[in-house]
Structure 1
Amino acid sequence: MLTATDLVKDYPVRGGDGVVHALAGVSLAVGDGETLGIVGESGCGKSTLAKLLVRLEDPTSGRVELDGVDLTELRGPALRQQRRHIQMLFQDPYASLNPRLRVGQALGEVLSVHRLADGRQRERRVGELLEMVGLGAPFGARYPHELSGGQRQRVGIARALAVEPKVLLLDEPVSALDVSVRAEIMNLLVDLRRDLGLSYVFISHDVAMVRHISDRVAVMYLGRVVEVGDWKSVLDNPRHPYTAALCAAVPAPNPELSQPIEATVSGEVPNPAAPPSGCPFHPRCPLAQDDCRRLDPALLPLPLSSGHQVACHVAAEQVSDRSAQLAPSGS
Structure 2
Amino acid sequence: MLSEVVSNVLKFNDYLLERTDPRVRDYPLMQSPIQMTLILLGYVFFVLYAGPRFMANRKPLRLNTAMVFYNFFMVAYNAYVVYELLMSGWATTYTWRCDLCDPSSTPQALRMVRAAWLFYFSKYVELLDTAFFVLRKKQSQVTFLHVFHHSILPWTWWWGITLTPAGGMGSFHALVNTCVHVIMYTYYGLSAAGPRFQKYLWWKKYMTAIQLIQFVLVSVHISQYYFMEKCEYQVPMFIHLIWIYGMFFFVLFSNFWIQTYVKRKRLPVSKEEKPKQNGITTVIEPVVVANGKHFENGNVLYTNGFSHNGKVKEV
TM-score range, shorter chain: under 0.3
Structure with bigger strand share is 1
| TM-score (norm: length of structure 2) | 0.27
Q: Which structure has the larger Rg?
A: 2
| TM-score (norm: length of structure 1) | 0.26
